[in-house]
Every structure is written in C-alpha cells, then in structure tokens.
Amino acid sequence: MSADHLSYPSRSSGTSNSNGNGNNDAQHVLIFFIPGNPGLIGYYAPFLSLLRDLLDANVSLNAISFHIHGQNLAGFIDQDHEPFTSQRKPYDLEYQIQHILKAVRSLRIEAAGAKQGQPYDHVLLIGHSVGAYVALETCHRILRDPALAPELKLASGILLFPTIERIAESQSGWKLNMLRQTPLLGDNAYRIAQGFLRLWPYDALYWFVSKTLGFPSHAADVTTRWLKSRDGVWQSLYLGMDEMRVIGEDKWDTELWEIAQDAAAESRTPRFYFFFGRRDHWVADHYRDEFIRKRSAQNEKTRLVVDEGKLPHAFCIDHSEPVAEKVHTWITEMFGTSGKDS
C-alpha cells in the first residue's frame, strides 16, 4: 500500500461473465476520494474499506465494477517533494486543485478485460472538508473546459462536511484567519509548532495521540507520522491559511450549477450530494443555511442533507461506518439497477 494513495479494486462480479472471463459490457466507475487538511489519505482507510465492502455486498450494483482510489494532497509526506524553504514554499490551494486534476485524469481501468487501460466509463468525485472544495472546483473547470481532461467522464460529486464558502467566518476558521493576519506570528507559526514537536520522542507522541486524545490506531499512526515529518505541519498550516484567503463568497452561482444542470439534463438522479454537519466548527451555520436555500430553489440536481445526529467534521477518526453507509446509499441511487428503473 502506497504512502500517497489508497486503492481498492473491485471484488464484485461486475468484471466477469459466467465463464469467468472479463465482461466487456461491465461499466467501470472510478470513485476518486479527496481528503481534507491535513491531506493524508491514511486517515480514511477504514472509511474507504467499509465503502468497498458495502459496494461489493450490494446486488443492485453487481453489473458495475467500482474502483476506489484515494489520493494524498501534495506536500504532506516528505517523500513527494524537495524540502520546503523560504524560497520554495509549501503548496497552496490552487496547486492542490491542479495536483488532483492531474491525478484523476491519469487513472485508467486496471481490471483485466477488453477495457483494460481505457478511461473509466464514469468518475465520481468524493471530497471531505477542503477536499470538497477541490472536488467542486475540479468539476467546474472540466465542465467549462473539457479540453483539460477530454477523456474524463465526470458522473457526480459527493461532498462531505464541505468547506466551500466563507471558511474564515466559521468558529475554527476565524481563529486560523486571525493567526494568518497577525504580523510575524502568522508567517512563523510553523516554526513554533515544529520546535515544540521536536521535543517529543516519536513513541511518546504516539502515546499522547492515542491515549490522551483517544485516537484509534490508524488515526494515531497517521497523525504521529505527520507531526514528526519534516514538512507536514508547515504544509498543513500554509494550506489552511490559504484556504482562509481563497474560500470566500459562493462563486459558483451562475457557473457550475447551470453547467451541471445542462450536463445532467437526461438524468433523474442528483449530480451533487452535499452532507453538512449539524454543528461544524469549520462551517458557519448561517452561510450553510443560505447556501442550502439557494441551491434547493435553483437546481433539482443537487441533494442537500444536514446531519440529524452529532457526526463530527473529522468523521474519519472514529465515525467512518455511518458516513460510509450514507455514501453507499447515494452511490446506489446513482448507479443501482432499482434506482435507474424507478
């Protein structure tokens, strides 16, 4: 398993016919997952594994071969870049969008058969937190300019706890934005953090994250490796501060939704699924509610859901199962045989 991505090929019968050979008629769907900040896909291993199991057990999806791929954001592991310096700074939000666009358009069908090596029949983007912003912006750019990825067939997007509007006015965003705007401190926050973290031996930090913070083993391992890496904390702070600057007013009012509606005119299922937290410290409630009001009135191809429970923004730590079940339900609505016939 690679440090920069996770891959879960299909185990369903959608790739084989009754003779055990490749099924040339099978639809191949790429589910491409974009993490939040810190952009480490390892946090989502339980979530993606659960989603894989749910898809494989769903008989209404047997005719489809789903390949799940999750990708790190750039700069969060030391192996993917030269050391950051004052001249070679970490990657901003625009770079992350380009990084994900390049990654998703490069993937091809891996399953053995006549379609091996060809582009996927459909691509579903799933983004969490700022990954939802990256997913939306990727859709936006490709829909406006198909030449950016001429063989990429975007089917839909699922946006989990999305930070897509005025993030600096959320509870946590306000604090990070204040740090960004504080002279000297904003530019040197990563040095303070790195200096403090160097005082902790790896094992002691792992113990603190797992025992005191209560992180399960997968999250404690990813967190400790990130905190002890050379550049990971700097990358996270740099990207977070750029998010405060870039993610402002809803800029997709007259662009993405109209293009998406035209592109999905023949489909009766939503093109975008938004899942908001009930109380999300990275999303301002009043802007969330206004976003929902505008989208609900404007476009029937958008499904907007607010959690009725208490799922946290960082669901990937220890709430993977309920979110995987919700995502599985929406994928079934998009691609299941019963959903298509209804």
pLDDT at 1 over 50: no
Are 247 and 167 in contact by the 8 Å Cβ rule? The answer is yes
Measured CA to CA, the distance from residue 222 to residue 224 in angstroms comes to 6
Residue-wise pLDDT tens digits, 52-105: 999 999 999 988 999 999 999 999 999 999 999 999 999 999 999 999 999 999
3-state secondary structure of 162: coil
Q: Is the pLDDT of residue 336 over 90?
A: no
Neighbours of 155 (CB within 10 A): 20
> For the range 191-200, what are the long-range contacts, defined as Cβ-Cβ under 8 Å and sequence gap of 24 or more?
193/233, 193/237, 194/233, 194/234, 197/227, 197/228, 197/233, 200/227, 200/228
Tokens of 196: 């403090």
**Which burial class, exposed, middle or buried, applies to 135 when counting CB atoms under 10 A from its CB (0-12, 13-18, 19+)?**
buried
Measured over the CA atoms of residue 82, residue 85, residue 89 and residue 90, the dihedral's sign is positive
| The pLDDT of residue 189 | 94
pLDDT at 306: 96
- pLDDT tier for residue 24 given thresholds of 50, 70 and 90: low
Q: In 3-state terms, what secondary structure has residue 83?
A: coil
pLDDT of 262 over the 80 cut: no
- 188 — phi, psi (to 5°)? -115, 10
Q: What's the pLDDT tens digit per position in 161-184?
A: 999 999 999 999 999 999 999 988
Residues facing residue 160 across a β-bridge:
128, 275
Tell me how far apart the alpha carbons of residues 197 and 223 are, in angstroms, rounded to a whole number: 12
Which residues, in sequence order, are bridge partners of residue 65?
28
Q: What is the pLDDT of residue 21?
A: 47
What is the rounded average pLDDT for all residues in the chain? 89
Provide the Cα torsion 132, 229, 89, 139; round to 10°.
-20
Given a cut of 70, is residue 289 above it in pLDDT?
yes
pLDDT score of 112: 84
